[in-house]
Amino acid sequence: MGVLEKVRTRSPKTAMAEPRAALPLDTILQGDCIAHMRALPTASVDMIFADPPYNLQLGGDLNRPDGSHVDAVTDEWDKFDSFASYDRFTRDWLAEARRILKPDGTIWVIGSYHNIFRVGATIQDLGFWILNDIVWRKANPMPNFRGTRFTNAHETLIWASMGEKSKYTFNYRSMKTLNDELQMRSDWEFPICGGPERLKKDGHKVHPTQKPEALLYRVLLAATHPGDVVLDPFFGTGTTGAVAKRLGRRWIGIEREGVYIDAATQRIAEALPLDESSLRTMQAPKGTPRVAFGTLVENGMVAPGMVLTDAKRRFQAVVRADGSLACGVETGSIHKLGATLQGAPSCNGWTFWHHESEGRLQAIDTLRQTYLLATQP
Amino acid sequence: MGVLEKVRTRSPKTAMAEPRAALPLDTILQGDCIAHMRALPTASVDMIFADPPYNLQLGGDLNRPDGSHVDAVTDEWDKFDSFASYDRFTRDWLAEARRILKPDGTIWVIGSYHNIFRVGATIQDLGFWILNDIVWRKANPMPNFRGTRFTNAHETLIWASMGEKSKYTFNYRSMKTLNDELQMRSDWEFPICGGPERLKKDGHKVHPTQKPEALLYRVLLAATHPGDVVLDPFFGTGTTGAVAKRLGRRWIGIEREGVYIDAATQRIAEALPLDESSLRTMQAPKGTPRVAFGTLVENGMVAPGMVLTDAKRRFQAVVRADGSLACGVETGSIHKLGATLQGAPSCNGWTFWHHESEGRLQAIDTLRQTYLLATQP
DNA sequence: AGGTTATATGAATCCAACA
DNA sequence: GTGTTGGATTCATATAACC
């Protein structure tokens, strides 16, 4: 434990890009992630989101039952000689991450059973304090074609603070509102990244493991404030940067591959900060028959900034990023705010609130129905 | 890796209970789990299920918002000085588990984010091969009363074989049936153990972390055959034993606390084994003997010269006397020719090839089924 | 145009028996 | 050991093709 004390001050020679004084905000740094991290100032970043190589150790080819070939992750960046070399790599970048984080900052790391146990143990060894492990349940995972194991249908995220006593950021109310007035749990369901969100070039996916924006949306909304600085040392095609821009957070990306950087640069340039973004279709999660209003926001069916009114247009409210509503100084979930404004003990926000659609008012419940129709069999 | 070679033969003095030759089946061994494991024979057990202490680092007491006290896990057996001592303990019992397991046996370990990363890394370090990590989604988890984190709504199980090449047991069909004819995924939902299933004494729960029987039911059904021997080195109140008895598996439990042993003994005595017929139906239809296509020719069910086609009638082939097929200059087995004609890496000839029967096409697999019905008891 | 059917694909540690 | 052959094996979603 207690690595902080051991952090040595490096000579400027080892720094690569910027002097440590300045944070290269909203920028992608090209090159090795550890080298670039060493050039960043100590205790300067509010959050780190990291999607490191998983060290999959895949064997031969795999075919589907119909004979088609599975396009596996065979990239060089995922190859390591041994667990020992993977552990060294992990410890090195995590130690730098720890130095760069502010005392009250937090780190998120995503992985699978191939690597997450080693990552988690190293995180603990370095003195981080694990706050939660989060399970991303994939709505549409790839099946196990040979029937040899359980369908590998999830990935794991670790969320950790700098230490046991850290005063980390957790937007409890935002998460609860996003989840329809229930505490947000440690298991999240999202579809894998596909459709128009998936970056492609010449008909092929640009990056083999692009993460869904809905996942980063929830992570950033939960653990940062607007204006906070988020570092992603394995930037890839820039999901973290695109969502950070949408949510009004600052970002720094580190990435080796020029192809990924090009795609990320264009993608982030096209990303619209929240109040300008229009209804954009993302894939909708499936499974839970109960739909939280926040789910519609997360999935782009309701844009933050959208104005809702009651049927008689007596009240007006604005949708916020976490799916809560604001009316003057009053805020709350669709149900809670409806009750407050009417002075009623309770209120069904789904039927109380309406939005302008095709020239007339429509209850937001129709959006939920649309969502359910799109996601239920 | 390669810990098996390092296992030393211990003098009988270190053995506590039984000589290594005999397996103490359907028995609870009282005492230290590592000491008792050392007394068990090498390569003698089919499966190990382990629910080790979680190394929870709960600071102080925890109270609900209404002031009532949370009965947290603060028992003495859950205290460890540091990660280092927990790692030593973990490595010691896992190494013994590895020695005791048969070469094709598997191990299951359940834990939370407090310990599962250390356990998982050690499992990999010892040479085990992780098959899946499984998420137990709790339908009714304890909320996070302070609103400081996400509701900790799941626990993680690791399932691992002795090595990459092990021929472990996985009852694929049973799992698929259990899941309404869809592949069983890596995320399982069960309620936490409560109600009449939860063992109580004087109104208090006997064990702080009693696992639901549904969880063990799925584990044992997935990864063992009837009659297999299952060892649980942290037996607690004997969920593993009770379910093993119900499912016709043999079990061995190790437990230190007499209170738990008493509860487990009574509980297992009251558990009712499923009758043989219900056990049989849960078995996968894997034992069906192989039938060569040539056998059907030999038995006159298929006549040489018979014409076969695929379902879309794109290809035609003629059956030859030895059970091979011919299509122009291409010849081969039903599988090989199907693969060749489609340009596919492989092909199941039984379902690919069809024959004209009663005016419509029928897969030749129906002939095989007919043959099996006629020749099986 | 609108609705239906066929095809493509995703962080995957993916076979078993026998010669 | 290794090489060959038999034969068992897929779910949700997006997109293209086709009536």
Quick: pLDDT tens for A34-63: 999 999 999 999 999 999 999 999 988 999
Distance of C1' in C6 from CA in A57, Å: 34
Residue B44, token pair as written in the block: 């003698």
| Pairwise CA distance, residues A113 & A132, whole Å | 16
Closest CA to D11 C1' — which residue? A143
Q: What share of chain B is helix, strand, coil (3-state, %, to 5)?
A: 30, 20, 45
The reply to whether residue B113 touches residue A132, judged by beta carbons under 8 angstroms, is yes
Contact of A169 with A177, CB cutoff 8 Å: no
Residue A353 CB-half CA count within 13 A: 30
| CA–CA min distance B339, chain A (Å) | 9
The reply to whether residue A121 touches residue B118, judged by beta carbons under 8 angstroms, is yes
| Pairwise CA distance, residues A36 & A231, whole Å | 11
| Pairwise CA distance, residues A365 & A308, whole Å | 12
A21 falls in which pLDDT band (50, 70, 90)? low
Contact of B262 with B234, CB cutoff 8 Å: no
Nearest to A143 by CA among B182, B371, B229, B188: B182
| Pairwise CA distance, residues A126 & B273, whole Å | 49
* pLDDT tens digits for range A343-357: 887 788 999 999 998
The reply to whether residue B124 touches residue A118, judged by beta carbons under 8 angstroms, is yes
Whole-number pLDDT of residue B286? 46
Q: Give the total residue count for chain B.
A: 377
Contact of A284 with A56, CB cutoff 8 Å: no
Residues 35-64 of A with CB under 7 A from strand D: 64
- Counted across chains A and B, CB pairs separated by less than 8 A come out at 141
Residue A118, token pair as written in the block: 């080693």
Task: Please name the member of A116, A124, A159 whose beta carbon is closest to the beta carbon of B83.
Answer: A124
Task: Please name the member of B156, B159, B186 whose beta carbon is closest to the beta carbon of A151.
Answer: B186
Whole-number pLDDT of residue A6? 34
Strand-pairing partners, residue A45, are A101
Distance from the Cα of residue A343 to its chain's centroid: 37
* Alpha-carbon Rg for chain B in angstroms: 27
Whole-number pLDDT of residue B67? 52
b/e burial code for range A14-24 (CB count within 10 A of at least 16 → b): eeebeebeebe
| CA–CA min distance A141, chain B (Å) | 9
The answer to whether B320 CB sits below 7 Å from nucleic acid chain D is: no
Residues of A in Cβ contact (< 8 Å) with B131 = 149
Q: What are phi and psi of B291, to 5 degrees?
A: -120, 125
Burial (0-12, 13-18, 19+ Cβ within 10 Å), B321: exposed
The reply to whether residue A147 touches residue B183, judged by beta carbons under 8 angstroms, is yes
Residue B16, token pair as written in the block: 């506590």
Residues 279-298 of B with CB under 7 A from strand D: 290-293
> Which residue of B lies nearest to A143 if distances are taken between CA atoms?
B183
Nearest to A234 by CA among A72, A97, A120, A329: A97
The reply to whether residue A148 touches residue B342, judged by beta carbons under 8 angstroms, is no
The DSSP element (H or E) to which A243 belongs, if any, is: helix A239-246
Whole-number pLDDT of residue B5? 29
| Cα separations in angstroms, B37 against A300, B8, B18, B26, B241 | 55, 14, 10, 15, 17
- Other beta carbons within 10 angstroms of residue A282's beta carbon come to 19
| Pairwise CA distance, residues A308 & A313, whole Å | 9
* pLDDT tens digits for range A258-277: 999 999 999 999 998 876 44
Nearest to A251 by CA among A266, A263, A239: A239
Whole-number pLDDT of residue A276? 43
The reply to whether residue A116 touches residue B121, judged by beta carbons under 8 angstroms, is no
The answer to whether A194 CB sits below 7 Å from nucleic acid chain D is: yes
Whole-number pLDDT of residue B205? 97
Distance of C1' in D5 from CA in B336, Å: 9
Distance of C1' in C16 from CA in A151, Å: 21
Nearest to A171 by CA among A247, A224, A135, A105: A224
The reply to whether residue A113 touches residue B172, judged by beta carbons under 8 angstroms, is no
Burial (0-12, 13-18, 19+ Cβ within 10 Å), B19: exposed
A170 falls in which pLDDT band (50, 70, 90)? very high
The answer to whether A189 CB sits below 7 Å from nucleic acid chain D is: no
The answer to whether B347 CB sits below 7 Å from nucleic acid chain D is: yes
Whole-number pLDDT of residue A328? 86
| Pairwise CA distance, residues A329 & A349, whole Å | 18
Three-class DSSP category at A89:
helix
| Pairwise CA distance, residues B296 & B374, whole Å | 12
Task: Please name the member of A67, A148, A187 whose beta carbon is closest to the beta carbon of B153.
Answer: A187
The DSSP element (H or E) to which A255 belongs, if any, is: strand A250-255
The reply to whether residue A149 touches residue B156, judged by beta carbons under 8 angstroms, is no
Contacts of A249 (CB under 8 A, 6+ apart): A220, A224, A226, A227, A228, A229, A230
Q: What DSSP letter does each residue of B175-241 carry, written as one string?
A: HHHHTTTS--BSEEEEPPS-GGGS-EETTEESSTTPPPHHHHHHHHHHH--TT-EEEESS-TT-HHH
Whole-number pLDDT of residue A213? 96
| Pairwise CA distance, residues B118 & A124, whole Å | 9
Whole-number pLDDT of residue A5? 33
Q: DSSP state, A110?
A: E
Residues of B in Cβ contact (< 8 Å) with A184 = 150-151
Strand-pairing partners, residue A357, are A360
Q: What are phi and psi of B4, to 5 degrees?
A: -50, -40
- Other beta carbons within 10 angstroms of residue A13's beta carbon come to 6
Closest CA to C10 C1' — which residue? A142
Residue A311, token pair as written in the block: 């049927």
Q: Which positions on chain D have an atom < 7 Å from some protein CB?
A: 5-15
- pLDDT over threshold 50, residue A229: yes
Average pLDDT, chain A: 88
Token pair 């933050």 is found at A304
Task: Please name the member of A113, A116, A131 whose beta carbon is closest to the beta carbon of B132.
Answer: A113
> Which is higher by pLDDT, A294 or B305?
B305
The reply to whether residue A185 touches residue B116, judged by beta carbons under 8 angstroms, is no
| Cα separations in angstroms, B31 against B44, B85, B257 | 20, 20, 8
| Pairwise CA distance, residues B23 & A233, whole Å | 52
Distance of C1' in D12 from CA in A144, Å: 13
Whole-number pLDDT of residue A275? 62
Residues of A in Cβ contact (< 8 Å) with B84 = none
Give this prediction's pTM. 0.85
A10 falls in which pLDDT band (50, 70, 90)? very low
> Mean pLDDT per 10-residue run, chain B (377 residues)?
31 43 93 97 97 66 52 54 88 98 98 97 98 96 94 98 96 85 92 92 95 93 94 98 94 98 98 72 54 84 89 86 87 88 84 82 84 72
